[in-house]
Amino acid sequence: MKRSLIALSLLIAASSAIAADPKGAPQLSNMPKLGIVEGKYGGSYTLMLPAAPGSFNYYGITDNNAYTVIGNVFEGLVEYNLETYKMEPNLAQSWTVSDDGKVYTFKLRRNVKWHDGQDFNADDVVFTFNNMILNPEARGNSAAGFPKGTTFEKVDDFTVRMSMPSPSGAIVQQLRTFIMPKHKLLKFSIEGGAKPADINTPWGTNTNLADIVGTGPFKFTSYTPDQKIVLGKNSNYWKSDAFGNKLPYIDRLEYLIIKDSNAQIAQIKSGGIDALNITGALFPELKAAEVAGGGFKVIRAAALFGSPPHLSFNFDAKDPDLARLFANDKFRQAVQPAVNRKRIIDDIFNGLAELPGTPTAPVSSWYFDTRSYLGNYDLRAANAALDALGLKDTNGDGIRNFAGGKEIEFSLIAPNDNAFFPGHLIAPVIQSDLKAIGMKANLQILTTSATFSKANAGDFEAAIYGFGNQPDPQLRKAIWQPGGDLYYWHSSLRPKAGQAISKANMKGWEKRIFDIFEEASRITDQGRRGALYDEWQLLNAKYLPVIMIAKPANIAAVSNKIGNFVYNLGPIPAYVTNHIIFNK
């Protein structure tokens, strides 16, 4: 299952654009637009997690708190240049592509060590792809991102060949996923004689941390359950910065587990943590504290990676009346004009949000502006549309009834600890909007992880949620393609283990979206791919698999003692590493 990547952490590391100095040592290219300066060594950088990770096994869990930490320990074959957002070499120092676009040959970087001193080589790469990334039983697999039948083979100790049955337009971006140590995980793998699902079992939070080894800039040092995770500097890390300095600069990376949002704010104010993603709801309070000499600054940035929070209805709700209603396209189209987005933007985000478009963020080159499909806030139109569906208030109590007299009443779940959208504040507005058109929504405010767990398990009726984004829609195929692992509002379309997705029970527009993602995954003509993704965004806007609510700005509070804090494209879950320094 491809992880949701809800964007619960900070983009603070500019670890990209690998170049070589005249002596052949791998260095990071200079990225002047990001304002990175030559750093000074030392210090401990402290962040927070809203909940404890469920595991330290990247491919054995879908947990953004775990990913936030793990992203500093492991690395992929390639990575983004955070200035240009082009793909750059990482553990793979170069690659070539066959004329037909089906075969990629990767030359791996030499002299890279795992944290325990073992050599990194082609065996690790092939092992990771065959036993985890392409293993459908691994909970965090990325099999959906690769054409079925893709194979990885070792050519020599530092050469790996990937062969695909058809070209794939976004395949290089799929290769950012992390490489794992074969010598530590072999016994849990298919290759080692274990069952496919056994790869989910190692590296739980009670594991000896010395067994969890990566190639990244930090390594696990200690974990105090439900309190604190400490990562120590990898002194043998293979990268240097553009100035020739060995990375990373800081000695320690700490995560405090702080579940209460008020406690999180208290910690950034007191200097207990060094950076915090916040929402527009908190902007006035923290900006005032900054102006008053609070020791931190509040910054804003446009984001490539944050899709708007949305309102979803469960097409497969356990109540058959609700399931039929929610799956009716005309019902969701009727609800759309009842969502008071202006009130949410003004009152909850303090104006630091905009009208939403589609799941693709506005700064992405794939974005197609569909905001005209939102229409205006219009309760009269919403009520008329519901009347036309035969949903009337038959007993005069203000709540519409089904044909048999049962009231239209359902639960609405939302998160209370999300750093990018305050679901617990949005939910009462949505509840009020729904009441104004004759429906009763009973709020259930949960943690982000609990909201996701219930939603993804199909154990909900309506939800307020949001997914992170990526530069290419293909990387979100698991979310937006019907039948995908995270297509949670119509989860009955998901295939059982070992089976292919069936289009038999898809709506017509779902079948077309399914075909769009299939076709776009097989072609490399970027113009054609763009046209397909435009069509997908238009279908989303018209048929509303989910109803987009608002597009919040990305806002962070960061300590004045921190330098090289890169927030150019907003927060994404990855790589809190390398360039962070303490201003002297």
Check which CATH number belongs to the domain holding 198 and give it: 3.40.190.10
Q: How far apart are CA 69 and CA 178, in angstroms?
A: 13
- Backbone φ and ψ of 323, nearest 5°: -60, -45
Residues 342 and 465 in one domain: yes
Using CB atoms within 10 Å of the CB of residue 291, give its burial: 0 to 12 exposed, 13 to 18 middle, 19+ buried.
exposed
Cα separation, 397 vs 63, in Å, equals: 42
Residue 263 lies in a domain: no
* Same domain (yes/no): 516, 572: no
Asked if residue 11 lies in contact with residue 468, where contact means CB atoms within 8 angstroms, the answer is no
Those residues with Cβ within 8 angstroms of residue 284's Cβ, 6 or more apart along the chain or in another chain = 350
Is residue 32 reached through a cis peptide bond, with omega within 30 degrees of 0 on the bond before it?
A: no
Q: Specify the pLDDT at position 24.
A: 47
The answer on 72 and 87 residing in a single domain is yes
Is 262 a member of any domain? Answer: no
Q: What pLDDT score does 528 carry?
A: 94
Q: What CATH number did the domain enclosing 422 receive?
A: 3.10.105.10
Strands (E), 11-74: 18-20, 26-28, 44-49
Q: Are 342 and 353 in contact (CB under 8 A)?
A: no
User: Rounded CA gap, 418 and 59, in Å?
Assistant: 23
Residue 69 · residue 203 · CB < 8 Å: no
Read off the amino acid at residue 551.
K
Asked if 535 and 578 sit in the same domain, the reply is no
Measured distance CA(306)–CA(466) in Å, rounded: 8
Considering the domain architecture, whether residues 544 and 564 belong to the same structural domain is answered as: no
**Residue 237: inside a domain, yes or no?**
yes
Instruction: Provide the token pair at 383.
Output: 């009520």
- For the residues of 236-270, what is the DSSP string, one character each? T---B-TTS-BS---SEEEEEE---HHHHHHHHHH
- 3-state secondary structure at position 129: helix
- Backbone angles phi and psi of 501, in degrees to 5: -65, 135
Helix axes 261-270, 283-291, angle to 10 degrees: 10
Inter-residue contact 224 to 247 (CB < 8 Å): no
| Look-up of token digits 């396209």 | 329
Place of tokens 């987009």: 548
How many alpha carbons lie under 13 Å from residue 120 in its C-beta half-sphere?
29
DSSP helix/strand/coil, 96 = strand
Tokens of 324: 């039929």
In terms of Cα–Cα distance, which of 254, 203, 216 is closest to 55? 203
529 assigned to some structural domain: yes
> E strands, 447-499, where?
462-465
pLDDT at site 31: 65
In a domain, 106, yes or no: yes
Give strand ranges (E) for 246-398: 252-257, 275-278, 296-301, 310-313, 353-354
DSSP 488-523: GGGGGGSPPTT-PPP-TT--HHHHHHHHHHHHHHH-
Q: What is the pLDDT along the chain (584 residues), one digit of tens a residue?
A: 433 322 222 223 333 344 444 344 566 655 667 777 788 889 999 999 988 999 999 999 988 889 989 999 999 999 887 777 778 899 999 999 999 999 999 999 999 999 999 999 999 999 999 999 999 999 999 888 899 899 999 999 999 999 999 998 889 988 989 999 999 999 999 999 999 999 999 999 999 999 999 999 999 999 999 999 999 999 999 998 878 888 888 999 999 999 888 999 999 999 999 999 888 888 999 999 999 999 999 988 766 666 789 999 999 999 999 999 999 999 999 999 999 999 999 999 999 999 998 888 777 788 899 999 999 999 999 999 999 999 999 999 999 999 999 999 999 999 998 877 899 999 999 999 999 999 999 999 999 889 999 999 999 999 999 987 777 898 888 899 999 989 999 999 999 877 889 999 999 999 999 999 999 988 888 899 999 999 999 999 999 999 999 998 888 899 999 888 876 544 433 334 455 666 54
Specify the amino acid at residue 509: W
In whole angstroms, what is the distance from residue 90 CA to residue 32 CA? 20
Asked if residue 409 belongs to a domain, the reply is: yes
Structure tokens at 412: 């609405």
Residues 133 and 191 in one domain: yes
Phi, psi (deg, nearest 5) at residue 381: -65, -40
Distance CA 54, CA 457 (A): 17
Q: How far is it, in rounded angstroms, from Cα 143 to Cα 501?
A: 13
Give the C-alpha separation, 164 to 148, whole Å: 8
Residue 208, helix vs strand vs coil: coil
The verdict on 322 and 335 lying in the same domain is yes
* Residues 544 and 561 placed together within one structural domain of the fold: no
Residue 275 belongs to a domain? no
* Per-residue pLDDT at 80: 81
| Same domain (yes/no): 570, 504 | no
Amino acid letter, residue 34: L
Residues 31 and 180 in one domain: yes
The whole-angstrom separation of Cα 123 and Cα 132 is 13
Q: Domain limits at 134?
A: 18-257+555-582
Domain count, the chain: 2
C-alpha torsion 469→470→472→476, nearest 10:
-50
Q: What is the pLDDT of residue 29?
A: 56
115 & 227 share domain: yes
**Residue 26: predicted pLDDT:** 65
Cα-based torsion angle of the residue sequence 52, 55, 61, 62 in order, rounded to the nearest 10 degrees = 20
How far is residue 568's CA from residue 276's CA, in Å, rounded to a whole number?
15
Dist. CA 302–CA 363, nearest whole Å: 7
Tell whether the torsion through CA atoms of 278, 228, 77 and 521 is positive or negative. negative
Residue 149 in contact with residue 502, Cβ under 8 Å? no
Measured CA to CA, the distance from residue 458 to residue 165 in angstroms comes to 34
Q: Which two tokens stand for residue 150?
A: 């893709």
Q: Is residue 89 part of a domain?
A: yes
Q: Which residue has the tokens 């790469």?
A: 125
The residue behind tokens 């957002």 is 85
Task: Give the contacts of 22 (CB within 8 A, at least 6 positions apart).
Answer: none
Do both 236 and 218 map to the same domain?
yes
Residue 119 φ/ψ, nearest 5 degrees: -75, 140
For residue 36, what pLDDT is reported? 76
- Yes or no: say if 147 and 163 are a contact pair by the CB < 8 Å rule: no
3-state secondary structure of 108: strand
Determine how many CB atoms are found less than 10 A away from the CB of residue 374: 17
How far lies 270's CA from each of 265, 417, 515, in Å? Answer: 9, 20, 52
Tokens of 128: 């990771």
